[in-house]
Amino acid sequence: MIQLRGITKIYATGKVTTPALLGVDLDMARGDFAAIMGPSGSGKSTVMHIMGLLDRPTDGSYLLEGQEVTGLSDDGLAALRNQRMGFVFQSFHLLPTATALKNVLLPFVYSPRYPADAEERGRRALTAVGLEHRLHHRPGELSGGECQRVAVARALVTDPEVIFADEPTGNLDRRSTYEVMAILQRLNRDEGKTVVLVTHDNHVGEMCRRVVRLVYGRIESDTVAPQPLDAIALLAALPPREEDRR
Amino acid sequence: MNRLWRMAVQALRSLWAERGYAALMMIGLVIGISSVTVIYEMGEGVRSQVVSMMSSMGFGADAFFVASGNRRAGFRRGGAARVLTDKDLSEISRLVNVDLVVPQLSISRDRVSAGARHTITGISGVDIHYAASRRWDIAQGRFLVEADNRDKRRVAVLGASTAQELFPEGSPLGRPIRIGTSPFLVVGVLAAKGFAPSGHDRDDRVLVPLSTAQRRLSKEDKFTAARVNLVDTGQVSETVEEVREILRANHRLGPEVPDDFTIVTPDSILQMVTRQSQAMVAMLTFIATVSLFVSGIVIMNIMLVAVSERAHEIGVRRAVGATRRDVMAQILMESLLVALLGGLCGLGLGMLLSRGIGAGLGLPVAFSLPGFGLSFLFSAGVGLIFGVFPARRAANLEPVECLR
Ligand SMILES: Nc1ncnc2c1ncn2[C@@H]1O[C@H](COP(=O)(O)OP(=O)(O)OP(=O)(O)O)[C@@H](O)[C@H]1O
Ligand SMILES: [Mg+2]
């Protein structure tokens, strides 16, 4: 589905040039569940932004479903992001003044046509992340884990082929981490969605079928785990929450 | 349309979220637009007052006045030597576009007495069309009739105030009065019209037949002024020129000599009023423009701050598919709406203010459509023009920069 060939990214700020990616060849197949890992500054976010069409490589080729996208216009990239990709960020990036449902509906605002059943689809997406009882809460009224699940709902509401998540569990506690990972695993397993996530957390890496390690802008290793950890099982093994015990 | 509506709703929502900023952005516009509104409403009030005054004088678009003396300096009451002759008026009345010429003779204010009581008032010699053409109703008795004029009868019609002054008790009808030293008989009393906005009592007057006034009071067969009723109101200026030629020829005025008469058209009065208020309007408009410009700068800077504060939001929108144009439109929409809201508040405040000032100073106030339109255009313009820079700044942000 995604083919990166010889991707380089060099940041030039004034006289200093920072090479972030030094020739990355990377394929993502439909249905992959991949973690991109590596030390800080190794280029994980950069490569994810390039795959997510949020950034352009300095050089190299990017085939999306066999189509070269490096030459597309900004508007062309925006349309591809809108229709084929979903994004989850470490700090959620929800609109603070909008309700959970309105946040989830945001991608539809930029669709070629605002679907008639948008609201229904938004509810379904929030139900899929277990937040059907939080439709009209604003981000300030939700916990961090709930916010990130709203963000996941926003990423999947348009039914994209691939979900990119940059450190989606970076700000979450263990339980919320399992909850978010369980949702992503289910989307991957039951709906065949491709999931690419960046993480520092080895435990999160163990829940991914594939782990790509970056070091200094190069791919150091690309391994497949035959038996990734099941987030639902991990969640069930946690001691019950205070409020559940009562 | 649907998309535009959705954008407007979103813009209103984010303005509401930042209502402190929004209020700050609106202050300048509220001040600017309210002053524009005050200017225009008071100007419009004066204008409509002049129009209603002229129509109460029977001075609609279908007529103009010819008066003795060159009164370019303004409107004076009496004073100038009477120059209009019977010959002038009959030649004017023969013009194709002239329907009727109603001559008028003003006598300088004189003593009018009834028995032991007396008053000083203005006396006019008028013809029988006078009452109808100037919208005077008769309260008692009758108005002047053709026979009064033909026979040069010594009869008089009194204004309501004059009648009250001379005959505080009992009906004035059939009672004798003296104008100067000439004896007259009261045949009618006009219905009261009250004070003119200028403070002048419109009911303080005595009307006598034109011919009688010429014989007994002015003692010359000339007229002070004449109202010229037109057939075709589309040709006012052509007819004015013809009248001017007749009068200049009859009065033997050489090419270098200025007119010894003045032709007053409804337009020329309006122009005069407009000219007088123009200087004030120019100054206030300048103040308004400055405050609108300042508010534009304020809007621009606050929007710039808002854009950088909302970089995350812009980044997310771009990530989920907003184009640069979408982002630009959103920011423009917000600055447009905040400006329009400010303009609306300013309009409301201005209307309150001008009505307050109007009531306080006894000046007329009227809703001004051009003022309203101008306020609307000004606010929209300020919002759009000063929104462009922040909107472009927002549109040029890179999504990755915003999401860091
Ligand atoms: N806008 C920029 N200008 C200059 N250098 C940049 C810019 N963005 C990233 N870099 C550099 O590119 C390199 C890779 O950055 P990137 O954000 O991809 O790292 P990362 O692997 O995501 O790190 P982290 O784990 O800390 O998020 C870093 O050295 C960083 O300093
Ligand atoms: Mg990173």
Interface A-B, measured as beta-carbon pairs within 8 A, has a size of: 66
Which residues have beta carbons under 5 A from ligand 2 (an ion)?
A 45
Strand runs (DSSP E) across B115-152, as ranges? 117-126, 138-141
Would you kindly state where each structural domain of chain B is located, as residue ranges? 2-53+277-403, 70-259
- Rounded to two decimals, the ipTM of the complex is 0.93
- Hey, which of A11, A212, A213 would you mutate to test ligand 1's pocket, going by the most ligand atoms within 8 Å of its Cβ? A11
| Cα–Cα distance measured from residue B240 to residue A102, given in angstroms and rounded to the nearest whole number | 70
Q: Quick check: A211 pLDDT over 80? A: yes
Ligand 1 in contact with A18 (CB < 6 A)? yes
Chain B: nearest CA to A46, how far in angstroms? Answer: 9
Considering only CA atoms, which residue is closest to atom 18 of ligand 1? Answer: A43
Instruction: Yes or no: say if B158 and B166 are a contact pair by the CB < 8 Å rule.
Output: yes
Instruction: Tell me the pLDDT tens digit for each residue of B45-59.
Output: 777 777 676 666 666
| Cα–Cα distance measured from residue B147 to residue B215, given in angstroms and rounded to the nearest whole number | 16
pLDDT of residue B60: 67
Instruction: Yes or no: say if B185 and B202 are a contact pair by the CB < 8 Å rule.
Output: no
pLDDT of residue B31: 85
Q: Which residues of chain B does A94 touch, with a Cβ-Cβ cutoff of 8 Å?
A: 316
Q: Contact A110/B403, CB-based, under 8 Å?
A: no
Q: Quick check: A2 pLDDT over 60? A: yes
Q: Does B73 touch chain A (CB under 8 A)?
A: no
Q: Does B312 touch chain A (CB under 8 A)?
A: yes
Does B376 or A7 have the greater pLDDT score? A7
Please name the member of B3, B313, B318 whose beta carbon is closest to the beta carbon of A78. B318
Read off φ and ψ for residue A161, nearest 5 degrees. -80, -30
Instruction: Tell me the pLDDT tens digit for each residue of B132-158.
Output: 877 889 999 999 999 998 999 999 999
Residue B135: which residues within 8 A CB-CB, separation 6 or more?
Answer: B55, B56, B58
Q: Which residues of chain B does A52 touch, with a Cβ-Cβ cutoff of 8 Å?
A: 319
Chain A: nearest CA to B322, how far in angstroms? Answer: 5
Please name the member of B10, B312, B324 whose beta carbon is closest to the beta carbon of A93. B312
CB atoms near residue B78 (< 10 Å): 14
DSSP of B210-267, one letter per residue?
HHHIIIIII-SSEESEEEEEES-GGGHHHHHHHHHHHHHHHTT--TTSPPSEEEE-HH
Would you kindly state where each structural domain of chain A is located, as residue ranges? 30-59+73-245
Q: How far apart are the first and last CA of chain B?
A: 34
Ligand 1 in contact with A43 (CB < 6 A)? yes
pLDDT of residue B176: 93
* Residue A104 alpha carbon to ligand 2 centre in Å: 24
* Residue A19 alpha carbon to ligand 2 centre in Å: 15
Q: Contact B321/A110, CB-based, under 8 Å?
A: yes
pLDDT of residue A243: 61
Considering only CA atoms, which residue is closest to atom 24 of ligand 1? Answer: A40
Chain B: nearest CA to A243, how far in angstroms? Answer: 34
Q: Contact B319/A54, CB-based, under 8 Å?
A: yes
Ligand 1 in contact with A114 (CB < 6 A)? no
pLDDT of residue B74: 46
DSSP of A151-216, one letter per residue?
HHHHHHTT--SEEEEESTTTT--HHHHHHHHHHHHHHHHHH--EEEEE-S-HHHHHTSSEEEEEET
Instruction: Yes or no: say if A109 and B6 are a contact pair by the CB < 8 Å rule.
Output: yes
When the pLDDT of each residue in chain A is averaged and rounded to a whole number, the result is: 92
String of b and e for B233-268 (b: at least 16 CB within 10 Å)?
eeebeebbebbeebbbeeeeeeeeeebbbbbbbbee
pLDDT of residue A40: 93
Please name the member of A78, A98, A114 whose beta carbon is closest to the beta carbon of B2. A114
Overall average pLDDT of the A9-23 stretch: 89
* Residue B393 alpha carbon to ligand 2 centre in Å: 25
* Residue B309 alpha carbon to ligand 1 centre in Å: 22
Ligand 1 in contact with A90 (CB < 6 A)? no
pLDDT of residue B59: 65
Please name the member of A75, A98, A107 whose beta carbon is closest to the beta carbon of B320. A107
pLDDT of residue B75: 42
Considering only CA atoms, which residue is closest to atom 1 of ligand 1? Answer: A11
Sign for the pseudo-dihedral over CA of B125, B130, B134, B138: positive
| Cα–Cα distance measured from residue B26 to residue B338, given in angstroms and rounded to the nearest whole number | 7
Q: Which residues of chain B does A83 touch, with a Cβ-Cβ cutoff of 8 Å?
A: 321
* Residue B324 alpha carbon to ligand 1 centre in Å: 24
Pick the CATH number of A30-59+73-245 from 3.30.1330.20, 3.40.50.300, 3.30.750.200, 2.60.34.10: 3.40.50.300
- pLDDT-based confidence at residue A163 (cuts at 50, 70, 90): very high
- pLDDT-based confidence at residue A148 (cuts at 50, 70, 90): very high
For chain B, which residues score pLDDT lower than 70? 1-3, 51, 53-61, 71-80, 197-199, 276-277, 279-280
Ligand 1 in contact with A73 (CB < 6 A)? no
